[in-house]
Amino acid sequence: MGGAEAPPPHQEEPSENGEKARPWKLSVFFLCFYGFMTALKPGEAFITPNLLSPEKNFTREQVTNEIMPVLTYSYMAVLVPTFLLTDLLRYKPVLILQALSQVVIWLIMLLGDQLLHMQLMEFFYGITMACRVAYSSYIFSLVSPDLYQRVASYSRSSVLFGVFTSSVLGQLCMSLGNVSYSTLSYVSLGFVGFGLLLSVFLPWPKRSLFFNRTAGGERPAASKSELDRMKPAPGSASSAPAWKESVFVQMLLEVKNVVKKPRMRLWSLWWVFNSTGYYLVLFYVHILWNKVYAATENKHVYNGGVEAASTLLSEERH
**What CATH number does residue 136 fall under?**
1.20.1250.20
Asked if residue 162 lies in contact with residue 35, where contact means CB atoms within 8 angstroms, the answer is yes
Judge whether 187 lies within some domain: yes
- Report the pLDDT value the prediction gives residue 224, as an integer from 0 to 100: 47
Asked if residue 87 lies in contact with residue 209, where contact means CB atoms within 8 angstroms, the answer is yes
Judge whether 14 lies within some domain: no
Diameter of the chain measured on Cα atoms: 86
Judge whether 268 lies within some domain: no
Model confidence band, residue 216 (pLDDT cutoffs 50, 70, 90): very low
Judge whether 64 lies within some domain: yes
- Report the pLDDT value the prediction gives residue 236, as an integer from 0 to 100: 45
Judge whether 103 lies within some domain: yes
Identify which has the larger pLDDT, 151 or 247.
Answer: 151
- Report the pLDDT value the prediction gives residue 168, as an integer from 0 to 100: 95
Q: How far is CA 155 from the centre of its chain?
A: 11
- Report the pLDDT value the prediction gives residue 122, as an integer from 0 to 100: 93
Range of the domain at 179: 25-213+275-312
Judge whether 279 lies within some domain: yes
Span 94-117, average pLDDT: 95
**CA pseudo-torsion sign 250, 254, 77, 205:** negative
Asked if residue 279 lies in contact with residue 75, where contact means CB atoms within 8 angstroms, the answer is yes
pTM over 0.75, yes/no: yes
d(CA 163, CA 40): 6
Model confidence band, residue 11 (pLDDT cutoffs 50, 70, 90): very low
Model confidence band, residue 19 (pLDDT cutoffs 50, 70, 90): very low
Q: Tell me how many domains the chain contains.
A: 1
**Residues paired with 222 in a beta bridge:** 211
Lowest-pLDDT range of 89-103, 212-226, 259-273: 212-226
Beta strands 211-212 and 221-222, pairing class: antiparallel
E-strand stretches of the chain: 211-212, 221-222
Judge whether 62 lies within some domain: yes
Asked if residue 129 lies in contact with residue 279, where contact means CB atoms within 8 angstroms, the answer is yes
